[in-house]
Chain A
Amino acid sequence: MTETFLQNLINGALTGCIYALIALGLSLIFGVMNVVNFAHGDFVMLSMYLTFWIGVWAGMDAFITPLITFPALFLIGLLAYNALIDRTLRQKYVTQIAVTVGLMTFLRALAQLIWKAQPRALPYSLIQGSIQIGPYTILASRLVSAVVSVLAIAGVYLFLSRTWAGRAIRAASDDLDAASLLGIPYRQTYALAFGLGSALTAIAGGLLMTFQQVDPTMGVRFGLLSWCVLAMAGLGSIPGLLISGIIVGAAEAIGMSFWDPRARSLIVYLLFILVLWLRPRGLFGRK
């Protein structure tokens, strides 16, 4: 009993690191420009399919594909920002929601058209096998995924706290008017945040493809999952995002094994409602 619990806790926590990485992208976009990007999960789905393509055509391992998909998703993010999001910034909230929901539907339909409805997976990954610690088995692919996710999150943290562009993003997120008076151009800053937020899904997509299959409806799951993580963490705390990701991942895994695998999403949303009810600003949030 305890062993099963701990085994699931470990598995879930490792997957949770990837959730945190996805949520970080969402948090960048929402935190900086206050845009609720409903298409974020579909960027993850798109990244997974691109990883699949590159894996099949170029024989590249899923772990390495972010080298290509990261810049690709960054460009797609820039394009989405300039073509769609920028025009909605001064519109009503409803317009923004309609646009990102539209983008979400578009991406899903596009995936169905190109890749058909059946799930796709890559045959194998370079990182094979598992590590045995006492009675617990840790899959190497999950462990490496978690490590890479944490490293990527740390990288974003350093970028935001040490570089000019990162500080500009934080300043614009705090107070756009004040930032613009200091010479920070809003449009480039927003585009950068959106591009980076989207590009982070490329890393997550590559990691997920090492142990999971992809289908066109996956976006919704990852989109809502990352909202849960973000709501739990609150805005502005990157370590908090990581902890929340781990909590969500662990809750999901434990719930699936002790209750019912079909209850997967149910547990996550129960947690989501609980957090919104008891701590609307999240566990670590600033605003």
Chain B
Amino acid sequence: MSAPILQVSQLTKRFGNLVALNGVSLEIREGEIFSIIGPNGAGKTTLFFNIIGLQKPDAGRVLFKGTDITGKSPHKICHLGITCTFQVPRAFANMTVEETVRVGAYKRYQGREMSQKVDEVLRICELEEYRHQRCSDMGLAHLRRVELARALATEPVLLLLDESGAGLNPSELTGLMDILHRLNEEMHITLCIVEHVMQMVMSLAQRIVVLDHGEIIAEGSPQEISTHPRVIEAYLGKRVVC
């Protein structure tokens, strides 16, 4: 078993009276595809935002490769090697696809090397033919890939993907899953995916945690999770015995 790359311990986040995250602890291991699932409003996106620095947790710690990154700003965390994509794509509307990817690549590259990096990322995400298109003119499936591409350009060690399969049709989904597989196997990027599309989670993830009402209710392999009574309860409600 490989070493943990990200350790979240007792993470708590409150919004007024609402406890969005209640003492969440989890470990993501180097090189794996990890998944967080849970019903709507379970706190998945909040968990991402608190890891990545877009929100500051009220309590708890986040360790990345042993270094405490709790409450650091997102650009610093990005420099360390973690970045994430948004649930609803937020591509830079007034830029072309290539420019968007360039913004990400500037962090580590310059000049010719940067252009190479941009080309490489566009190829991986199968966006080469759209490179001069403006993001505002693109459809959902492509925007998700643009978002993935610009995140990849920052050369993350750990990539957090927030529902990147949502709203895609089956063939688009297969395409995306192929790309994610390649990122993990060929580029050795550790992936953490938050997902509603079960087909995607079950075929990609090696380990899954289930979040409900801000708490982790189950953890295990896809097979274990799919038969876990509390998971079924959280998704479908309690079985009524009559």
Encoded as 1 (CB less than 8 Å from any B CB) or 0, chain A from 70 to 90 comes to 000000000000000000000
Interface segment, A147-155, A174-182, A251-259, A275-283? A174-182
Complex interface: chain A residues within 8 A of B102 (CB): 167
Q: List 24 A-B contacts (CB under 8 A).
A: A167-B103, A168-B106, A170-B95, A171-B92, A171-B100, A174-B92, A174-B93, A174-B94, A177-B74, A177-B90, A178-B90, A179-B92, A180-B74, A180-B75, A181-B74, A181-B151, A182-B103, A182-B150, A183-B78, A183-B79, A183-B83, A183-B154, A186-B73, A286-B94
Which residues in window 89-140 of B have CB below 8 A to A?
90-95, 99-100, 102-104, 106-107
Chain B positions within 8 Å of A, measured between CB atoms, are 52-54, 73-76, 78-79, 83-84, 86, 90-95, 99-100, 102-104, 106-107, 150-151, 153-154
Least CB distance from B80 to A in Å reads 10
Q: How far is the CA of A236 from the CA of B76 in the complex (A)?
A: 28
- The distance in angstroms between the C-alpha atoms of A48 and B154, with both chains bound, is 44
A184 to B104, CA, bound (A): 9
Structural contact, A164 and B52, CB atoms closer than 8 A = no
Chain A contacts with B in 192-235, Cβ cutoff 8 A = none
Number of A-B pairs, beta carbon distance below 8 Å: 74
Q: Is A185 an interface residue (CB 8 A)?
A: yes
- Taking residues whose C-beta sits less than 8 angstroms from the other chain, chain A's interface range is 10 to 19
Closest 7 pairs (CB-CB, A-B): A183-B107, A180-B74, A183-B78, A174-B92, A182-B104, A185-B75, A164-B106
Cα A181 to Cα B72 in complex, Å, equals 12
Contact A167 B106, beta carbon cutoff 8 Å: yes
- Which residues of chain A have C-beta atoms less than 8 A from B74's C-beta? 177, 180-181
Chain A interface main SS type: helix
Interface residues of A (CB under 8 A from B): 164, 167-168, 170-171, 174-175, 177-186, 236, 286
Cα(A178)–Cα(B75), bound, Å: 10
Report the minimum CB–CB distance from B118 to chain A (whole Å). Answer: 12
Rounded to whole angstroms, the CA-CA distance of A170 and B96 in the bound complex is: 12
